[in-house]
């Protein structure tokens, strides 16, 4: 199950990603926001983060204008490793090396075509499980 959340700037891009989920029969849960004038991105970062912490979702996608605020908010949460990626190389590498469980993107940074490719790459890449990467992730968790 993929959890997806966004602020007002990310609504249209989210709908493009939802179209990709539906075309590819990928199960998702939409944590908002819906179409609205203004919204606070930490609300949606926390909603998706909590769903991951409770294991209601396996991975998350977060979108704000830059992807920065929403990834900062998500990364404050225990067990959340949110990676801000605007290219496919990073989206793959962050799954392989960091076992990132959230992909963050900026709707004002990437167009929908690239964003969907980045999502596809992220979802289809797996953590390598290599000891050195596990060790480093453990060190992050220790604070």
Instruction: Give me the active site residues, please.
Output: 64, 97
Cα–Cα distance between 57 and 45 in angstroms, integer?
13
Q: Which is nearer to ligand RB5, 51 or 70 (CB)?
A: 70
Encode 29-68 in three state secondary structure. Answer: EECCCCCCCCCCHHHHHHHHHHHHHCCCCCEEEEEECCCH
Residue range at the interface with ligand RB5 (CB under 6 A); choices 59-67, 115-123, 125-133, 135-143? 59-67
Question: Using the rule CB under 6 A, which residue among 68, 88, 93, 96 binds ligand RB5?
Answer: 68
Binding of ligand RB5 by 69 (CB under 6 A): yes
Tokens of 123: 């979802």
Taking the complex as a whole, how short is the minimal distance between the CB of residue 131 and ligand RB5, in angstroms? 35
Token code pair at residue 22: 């539906």
Q: Which residues bind ligand RB5 (CB under 6 A)?
A: 7, 9, 41, 64-66, 68-69
């Amino acid at each position: 199950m993929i959890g997806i959340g966004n602020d007002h700037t990310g609504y249209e891009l989210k709908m493009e990603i939802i179209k990709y989920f539906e075309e590819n029969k990928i199960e998702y849960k939409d944590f908002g926001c819906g179409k609205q004038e203004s919204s606070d991105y930490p609300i949606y970062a926390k909603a998706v983060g909590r769903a991951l912490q409770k294991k209601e979702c396996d991975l998350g996608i977060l979108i704000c204008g830059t992807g920065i605020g929403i990834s900062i908010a998500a990364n404050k949460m225990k067990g959340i490793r949110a990676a801000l990626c605007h290219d496919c190389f990073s989206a793959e590498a962050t799954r392989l090396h960091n076992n990132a469980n959230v992909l963050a993107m900026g709707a004002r940074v990437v167009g929908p075509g690239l964003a969907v490719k980045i999502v596809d790459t992220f979802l289809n890449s797996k953590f390598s499980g290599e000891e050195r990467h596990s060790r480093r992730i453990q060190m992050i968790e220790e604070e």
